[in-house]
């Protein structure tokens, strides 16, 4: 075999089709079904015992651990049916093709040759990402990330085991431009549209550190009950999630926890008596006072995210999936016009968390409109020391006006255009003022004679004279000087 794993072995073969087509033949090991069934039976009984202990000693906890194990068991059993894996592989291949993703491909399947224990698919030449260099992994991480986000948020059908062995770096790009092949589609998961929309809202709130709204998202997702104690949960959520958003994996997370709890950065957590006690107390508060629950599909989703993030951290030690995925979320907000997405977009563009009550709109914020256009293009302004998204910041390296206008008029901004119809008069007024101000500045600069050179030994006497006239104040910038004309507002 050219590859082997616990469930199957893979062989290289050639089809007798007259074209010498090379294929990968995956053959299931004997007696795997019996072995897996015994293991799952033992785990199921252990889960039942553990569930009983939780219900007796921590009745406030709502997680159904037996249901979690059942979800895993379903995944294991479906992974043993190679006919099902062939269908998954075809569906995933179609998802990436239909979304126009260039960079990641899924090998095609020869269905007529597949059985429950044999899978025949297209052969691809490449190496596992686990064998790739750090630079190679960093180069293809954005491709793998985009593929995963499309699966999760667009299709609701995602690869639940994207470890380095299932991501192949191709020896040569394909004719379509693909550089990575995603294989082994036995363990897949589905998420319905309603939950995907709630997760999109959660990512937005987590990325801009709006934990008050994030608690509501967790309530909608069934993680927290509707009557949960928000004042207790919000500071704990800040301590638990803020270090994660910063990225950098487990090592950075531990460093940030030590900083937050006033511990010595070079010492072990268990030796830091005061800080460790405070952290333990917070953990006990979560266990005893916060009645959270983990939905069954969250276990598989969490595993997939942690696995993919681990691969990305190999190429970039500062990688953080929340912030890296934000441009994708921004593009989705601008593109889709479903009511759920429109509500999330309204919250970003109109609501002001600092001054408005929950759910209250405070009018369109033009800076946020410009910011989200830049976010969708991959340029994100940040706050809190460069960690969280600043919804009101327009990045210095963002889109030019022509690029922004082009994006606004494209199919990628259909949801935004629909939402802004009622604000079009204000937007045109603001944009015209910006254009005329910038244009007038450029005309004045073009007509201004060249600056006289400084005189040796005397320096810039003209600049000194100007400073004397203005009393030492810095002369105003040209674009800050009011223009000698007015434009009518929307009301005339």
Q: Tell whether the model's pLDDT for residue 341 goes beyond 80.
A: yes
Min mean pLDDT across 4-18, 50-64, 319-333 is at: 50-64
pLDDT at site 350: 80
The full 3-state SS of the chain, as one line of letters, equals CCEECCCEEEEEEECCCCCCCEEEEEEECCCHHHHHHHHHHHHHHHHHHHHHHHHHHCCCCCCCHHHHHHHHHHHHHHHCCHHHHHHHHHHHHHHHHHCCCCCEECCCECHHHCCCCEEEEECCCEEEHHHCCHHHHHHHHHHHHHHHHHHHHHHCEEECCCCHHHEEEECCCCCCCCCEEECCCCCEEECCHHHHHHHHHHHHHHHCCCHHHHHHHHHHCCCCCCCCCHHHHHHHHHHHHHHHHCCCHHHHHHHHHHHHCCCCCCCCHHHCHHHHHHHHHHHHHHHHHCCCCCCHHHHHHHHHHHHHHHHHHHHCCCCCHHHHHHHHHHHHHHHCCCHHHHHHHHHHHHCCCCCCCCCCCCCCCHHHHHHHHHHHCCCCCEECCCCEECCCCCCCCCCCHHHHHHHHCCHHHHHHHHHHHHHHHHHHHHHHHHHHHHHHHHHHHHHCCCCCCCECCCECHHHHHHHHHCCCCCCCCHHHCCCCCCCCCCCC
Q: For 389-416, how does the pLDDT look when each residue is reduced to its tens digit (9 = 90+)? A: 888 777 776 777 677 777 777 777 777 7
Q: What is the mean pLDDT of residues 435-451?
A: 57
- Do the strands 22-28 and 104-105 form a parallel or antiparallel pair, or are they unpaired? unpaired
Q: Are 47 and 278 in contact (CB under 8 A)?
A: no
pLDDT category, 174, cuts 50, 70, 90?
very high
Mean pLDDT value of segment 48-72: 87
258-305 pLDDT, tens digit per residue, is: 788 777 776 665 555 556 567 666 666 666 667 788 887 788 898 899
Give me the mean pLDDT over the 169-197 stretch.
94
- Per-residue model confidence (pLDDT) at position 372: 84
Distance, CA of 321 to CA of 327 (rounded, Å): 11
pLDDT score at 68: 87
Q: Mean pLDDT in the chain? A: 81
pLDDT band at 462 (very low <50, low <70, confident <90, very high): very low
Check residue 490 and give its pLDDT: 45
CA distance 413 to 333: 8
Confidence of residue 162 (pLDDT cuts 50, 70, 90): very high
Q: Calculate the alpha carbon distances from 338 to 213, 345, 382, 414, 419 in Å.
A: 20, 11, 28, 11, 11
Q: Specify the pLDDT at position 27.
A: 97
Say whether pLDDT at 111 is over 90.
Answer: yes
- Its pTM stands at 0.78
Q: Which two tokens stand for residue 5?
A: 């794993």
119 or 363, greater pLDDT: 119
Measured CA to CA, the distance from residue 208 to residue 295 in angstroms comes to 24
Pairing of the two strands 22-28 and 118-122: antiparallel
Place of tokens 């922004």: 404
pLDDT digits (tens, 9 = 90+) for 26-53: 999 999 999 999 999 999 999 999 999 9
- Which residues neighbour 273 within 8 Å (Cβ) at sequence distance 6 or greater? none
Res. 480 pLDDT band, cuts 50 70 90: very low
* pLDDT at 272 (0 to 100): 55
Q: What is the percent of the chain where pLDDT is above 90?
A: 41
Given a cut of 60, whether residue 17 has pLDDT beyond it is: yes
Spatial separation of the C-alpha atoms in residues 96 and 440, rounded to whole Å: 47
Instruction: Specify the pLDDT at position 159.
Output: 95
Q: Is the pLDDT of residue 487 over 70?
A: no
Q: Residue 367: is its pLDDT beyond 90? A: no
Cβ–Cβ < 8 Å for 167, 129: yes
Confidence (pLDDT) at 227: 87
- Per-residue confidence at 478, pLDDT binned at 50, 70, 90? very low
φ/ψ (deg, to 5) at 266? -95, -5
Instruction: Sort strands 118-122 and 382-383 into parallel, antiparallel or unpaired.
Output: unpaired
Average pLDDT, integer, range 322-335: 91
- Residue 52, both tokens: 């009983």
Which of 341, 101, 358 shows the shortest CA–CA distance to 204? 341
Structural contact between residues 162 and 191, judged by C-beta atoms closer than 8 angstroms: no
Tokens of 66: 């037996």
Q: In this predicted model, which residue has the larger pLDDT, 36 or 464?
A: 36
Q: How many Å apart are CA 135 and CA 148, to the nearest integer?
A: 20
pLDDT on residue 356: 42
Question: Of 192, 200, 169, which is closest to residue 182 (Cα–Cα)?
Answer: 169
From the list 271, 366, 16, 327, the residue with the least C-alpha distance to 153 is 327
Structure tokens at 377: 């293009």
Confidence (pLDDT) at 72:
84
> Degrees (nearest 5) of the Cα angle 397, 151, 350?
50
Q: Which residue has the higher pLDDT, 388 or 423?
A: 388
pLDDT at res. 220: 93
Average pLDDT over residues 465-472: 49
> How far, in Å, CA of 444 to CA of 435, rounded?
14
- As a whole-number percent, the residues of the chain with pLDDT over 70 amount to 77
Q: Which of 131-145, 173-187, 325-339 has the lowest mean pLDDT?
A: 325-339
- Residue 232: its pLDDT value, please? 87
351-361: average pLDDT:
50
- pLDDT confidence of residue 446: 56
- Least confident segment among 81-85, 393-397, 436-440: 436-440
Least confident range from 186-190, 197-201, 369-373: namely 369-373
Give the pLDDT confidence score for residue 313 in this predicted structure.
93
Give the tens place of pLDDT for each residue, 211-251.
999 999 999 998 888 888 899 899 888 888 888 888 888 88
Q: What is the pLDDT of residue 262?
A: 78
């Amino acid at each position: 075999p050219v590859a082997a794993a616990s469930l199957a072995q893979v062989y290289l073969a050639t089809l007798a089709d007259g074209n010498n087509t090379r294929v990968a033949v995956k053959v299931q090991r004997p007696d795997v079904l019996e072995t897996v069934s015994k293991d799952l039976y033992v785990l199921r009984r252990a889960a039942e015992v553990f569930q009983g202990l939780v219900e007796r000693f921590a009745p406030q906890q709502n997680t159904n651990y037996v249901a979690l194990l059942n979800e895993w068991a379903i995944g294991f059993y479906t992974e043993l049916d190679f006919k099902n894996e062939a269908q998954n592989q075809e569906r995933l291949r179609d998802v990436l093709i239909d979304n126009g993703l260039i960079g990641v491909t899924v090998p095609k399947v020869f269905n007529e040759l597949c059985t429950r224990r044999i899978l025949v698919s297209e052969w691809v030449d490449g190496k596992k990402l686990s064998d790739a260099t750090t630079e190679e992994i960093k180069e293809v991480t954005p491709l793998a990330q985009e593929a995963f986000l499309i699966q999760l948020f667009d299709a609701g059908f995602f690869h639940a085991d994207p470890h380095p062995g299932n991501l192949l770096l191709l020896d040569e790009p394909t004719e379509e431009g693909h550089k990575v092949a995603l294989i082994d589609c036995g363990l897949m998961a589905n998420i319905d549209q309603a939950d995907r929309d709630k997760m999109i809202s959660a990512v937005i709130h987590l990325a801009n550190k709006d934990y008050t709204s994030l608690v509501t998202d967790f309530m909608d997702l069934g993680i927290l009950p509707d009557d949960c104690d928000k004042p207790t949960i919000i500071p704990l959520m800040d301590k638990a999630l803020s270090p994660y958003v910063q990225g950098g994996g487990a090592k950075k997370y531990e460093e940030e926890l030590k900083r937050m709890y006033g511990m010595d950065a070079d010492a072990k957590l268990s030796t830091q008596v005061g800080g460790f006690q405070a952290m333990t107390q917070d953990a006990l508060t979560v266990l005893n006072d916060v009645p959270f629950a983990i939905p069954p599909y969250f276990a598989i989703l969490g595993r997939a995210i942690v696995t993919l993030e681990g691969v990305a951290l190999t190429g970039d030690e500062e990688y953080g999936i929340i912030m890296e995925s934000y441009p994708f979320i921004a593009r989705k907000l601008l593109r889709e016009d479903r009511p759920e997405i429109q509500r999330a977009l309204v919250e970003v563009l109109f609501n002001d968390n600092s001054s408005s009550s929950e759910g209250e709109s405070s009018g369109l914020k033009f800076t946020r409109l410009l910011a989200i256009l830049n976010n969708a293009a991959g340029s994100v302004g940040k706050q809190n020391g460069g960690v969280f998204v600043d919804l009101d910041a327009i990045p210095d390296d963002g889109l030019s006006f022509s690029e922004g206008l082009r994006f606004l008029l494209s199919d990628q901004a259909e949801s935004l255009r629909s939402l802004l119809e009622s604000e079009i008069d204000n937007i045109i007024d603001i944009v015209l003022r910006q254009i005329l101000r910038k244009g007038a500045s450029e005309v004045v600069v073009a007509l201004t004679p060249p600056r006289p050179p400084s005189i040796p030994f005397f320096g810039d006497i003209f600049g000194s004279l100007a400073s004397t006239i203005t009393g030492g104040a810095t002369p105003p910038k040209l674009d800050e000087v009011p223009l000698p004309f007015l434009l009518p507002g929307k009301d005339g």
